[in-house]
């Protein structure tokens, strides 16, 4: 079966930039392409949008098919439409991005990807298409976002120490933060609930654990705040 | 000439939400559709993306064709891909938005629009397609943006009074602001240059004129700030 139109049409794809928080690095999930163009090159998970699915459904489907990741909260990033971004023909892609906990997501390659793996954003391989540009835009969006929205709910374990929270900001912003100043600001936002628990199984002195106040977190996501970090 | 593909393809369009600053209202530029679907209904300027033009070029072209507006700085807003958003067939649209000075832009209808006009955002007619949703998202983006980026360069005259600047924020945010507090904050950002000039031809006492410090403005757009307004 084939489909005929009066005017030439671009093909429409989706691509996903999925960030996870590694030990000392922000990581991004890549797949190794099995097929041409760019066979064997690393690329963002993604693919063609079916005529009967929404953009977001397409992104979720491709992400699961190519990496095994499910139930990820995707946010739309930007649509890339440069004329020559795909050597085959005109392809416009709608890019999405997401933050996930690395521990929740064992990745496995599937369908037209021969491999799937996490890479440190500071040490990415040569990417297919304009995917390096897409990753860059996602990074900029994330770095801008930490200034006016709470962040971490999707990246950190349910219970975390203030040091772990600060480390997350440092990894995203790629700079060290003053400990005292950071704690004063983050505690001043009423975003955290101090638990009656400390870390277990640590060599050093066990630190206090915190969690996010769900209601306050959602409220701040909605109305924004200013975190001059 | 016709074009045949193995899989069905969505049509790709662009739509533009252009905001201007009216006396007491934020206004948006609409066109009246000459053709079906939604003939005679008001809609956002926009149309089909040609196979050999970028998304932004398509948006600029459609905006000029349908309204006469030229050289507008468009920013990409979001891509809308709900399955049934167009009664004809599957159409995915990439929406852009822009801020312009009303005085710079005499609009005139052209091509497939039978009319073009400015409407107060609080009093929009019934819009075609999902255009009401697109306008809503653009408004939310603009309201969020004033909190972390300077704004007004595109909306105000080159020289303006502090009252005019405050009025712009009030119109966008749809609430009154405390005058003393507003002035303290806006002057504290080093964003304004006080001119050795006052308003002309006003009945009341002529107020001092200001302009934006171009370099500082561009710097703040890039690095963001926090304007807790």
Q: Split chain B (229 residues) into runs of 10 and give each run's mean pLDDT.
A: 94 97 91 93 97 98 93 96 97 97 70 83 97 97 88 91 94 94 93 94 89 93 77
Closest B-chain CA to A76: B78
The pLDDT of residue A95: 98
Q: Which residues of B touch A88 (CB under 8 A)?
A: none
Amino acid A202: pLDDT: 83
Do A5 and B7 count as a contact with CB atoms less than 8 A apart? Answer: no
* Beta carbon pairs, A and B, within 8 Å: 109
| φ and ψ at residue A108, rounded to 5 degrees | -145, 140
Q: Tell me the fold of A162-223.
A: Arc Repressor Mutant, subunit A (1.10.10)
Averaged pLDDT for residues A130-146 = 95
Q: What is the mean pLDDT of residues A6-30?
A: 94
**CA-CA distance, A111 to A16, in Å (whole number)?**
16
- Residue of higher predicted confidence among B134 and A226: B134
**Contact across the interface for B54 and A228, Cβ inside 8 Å:** no
Q: What's residue B103's pLDDT?
A: 73
Confidence at A225, pLDDT banded by 50, 70, 90: confident
> So what's the pLDDT on residue A106?
66
Task: Judge: B7–A51 Cβ closer than 8 Å, yes or no.
Answer: yes
Q: Looking at residue B112, what is its pLDDT?
A: 64
Query: Three-class SS of residue B110?
Result: coil
Residue contact B4–A6, C-beta within 8 A? no
Cβ of residue A3 closer than 8 Å to a chain B Cβ: yes
Q: For chain A, which residues make up each domain, given as ranges?
A: 11-145, 162-223
- Does the beta carbon of B176 lie under 8 angstroms from any beta carbon of chain A? no
Task: Give the one of A10, A76, A147 whose C-beta lies nearest to B224's C-beta.
Answer: A147
Q: What's the confidence (pLDDT) of residue B198?
A: 92
| pLDDT the model gives residue A86 | 97
Q: How far B79 CA sits from the closest chain A CA (Å)?
A: 7
Q: Which ipTM value was assigned to this complex? A: 0.92
* Average pLDDT rounded to a whole number, residues A88-95: 97
A chain contacts of residue B51, beta-carbon cutoff 8 Å: 7-10, 90
Residue A223 has pLDDT above 80, yes or no: no
CATH fold for domain A11-145: Nucleoside Triphosphate Pyrophosphohydrolase (3.90.79)
| pLDDT at residue A110 is higher than 80 | no
Mutation site for B-interface testing, chosen from A12, A85, A96 by largest number of B Cβ within 10 Å? A12
Predicted pLDDT at A228: 74
User: Are the Cβ atoms of A228 and B226 closer than 8 angstroms?
Assistant: yes
| pLDDT for res A126 | 97
Is the Cβ pair B6, A10 closer than 8 Å?
no
């Amino acid at each position: 079966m084939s489909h005929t139109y009066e005017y030439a049409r671009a093909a429409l794809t989706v691509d996903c930039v999925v960030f996870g928080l590694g030990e000392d690095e922000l990581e991004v999930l890549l797949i190794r392409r099995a097929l041409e163009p760019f066979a064997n090159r690393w690329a963002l998970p993604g693919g063609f949008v079916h005529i009967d699915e929404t953009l977001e459904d397409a992104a979720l489907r491709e992400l699961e098919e190519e990496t095994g990741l499910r139930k990820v909260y995707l946010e739309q990033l930007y649509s890339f439409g440069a004329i020559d971004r795909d050597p085959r023909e005109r392809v416009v892609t709608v890019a999405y991005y997401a933050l996930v906990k690395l521990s929740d997501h064992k990745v496995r390659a599937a369908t037209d990807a021969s491999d799937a793996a996490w890479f440190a954003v500071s040490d990415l391989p040569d990417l297919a298409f304009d995917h390096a540009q897409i990753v860059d835009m996602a990074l900029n969006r994330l770095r801008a976002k930490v200034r006016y929205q709470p962040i971490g709910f999707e990246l950190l374990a349910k219970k975390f120490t203030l040091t772990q929270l600060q480390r997350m900001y440092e990894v995203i912003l790629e700079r060290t933060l003053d400990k005292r100043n950071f704690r004063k600001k983050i505690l001043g936002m009423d975003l955290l609930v101090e638990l009656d628990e400390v870390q277990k199984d640590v060599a050093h002195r066990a630190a206090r654990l915190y969690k996010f106040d769900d209601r306050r977190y959602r409220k701040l996501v909605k109305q924004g705040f200013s975190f001059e970090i």
